[in-house]
Amino acid sequence: MTFVEQCNLIFRQSVEDYHKTDDVDATMPNPYKEGSIEYDLYKKNWIDVVQWHLEDIIRDPHIDPVSALALKRRIDHSNQDRTDLVERIDSFFYEQFHKIEPKKNARINTESPAWAVDRLSILHVKIYHMQEQVGRKDVSAEQHEKCVEKLRVLNEQLEDMTTSINDLLKDYAAGRRIMKVYRQMKMYNDPNLNPVLYAGGKK
């Protein structure tokens, strides 16, 4: 099994595990050993699927402003957790590939491997929920056909991304790509870098 096939397996498992309760407050039942890459992959997808549902909830037109603000804070925190986890997964890739001598014509990729894996994880969440829409019986034939077509495209994207990430990792291993990791350097959650925060909310 390739690394990307393993990702797909773990992501599907996480999405299905979440929907056993379909509760954004459910405890994550991560079956993998903490500290392993499998654990991080499962946790990554669990964050994605929970956040998918938080984004649904916050769009309720009847949500009260206090609850909406609390939910927005939770989504912000989730986004930071997601970024931190992706960067940890990139450290895993960096340890694997950074000592490989690049070929003379080696290229730099536009995104790190973990951010590609991040998109793959979110794609699994999209596919699960589009499949739900395809199975609805309370919609018009036109809407059903639109969802069928969207699901087809998403599954095609899954195949393409699986192939692309697999090829990318092969390129790193063969020295055809240069392994580099650029951290996100997000500033808005940092009390030392966000002017509103270090000014005590006076700006």
The pLDDT value recorded for residue 132 is 97
**pLDDT at 162 exceeding the cut of 90:** yes
What average pLDDT does this structure show over 122-138? 98
Q: Please determine, for residue 184, whether its predicted confidence score (pLDDT) is greater than 90.
A: no
Torsion of CA 74, 76, 77, 83, to 10 degrees: 140
| Average pLDDT score over residue span 182-198 | 75
Query: Rounded mean pLDDT of the chain?
Result: 94
CB 24 within 8 A of CB 54: yes
pLDDT band at 201 (very low <50, low <70, confident <90, very high): low
CA pair distance 116, 173, nearest whole angstrom = 17
**Cα–Cα distance, 24 to 142 (Å, whole number):** 31
pLDDT at 186: 72
What integer pLDDT is reported at residue 110 of this predicted model?
A: 87
pTM confidence score: 0.92
Would you state the structure tokens that stand for residue 142, as one six-digit string? 């036109």
Is 141 strand, coil or helix? helix
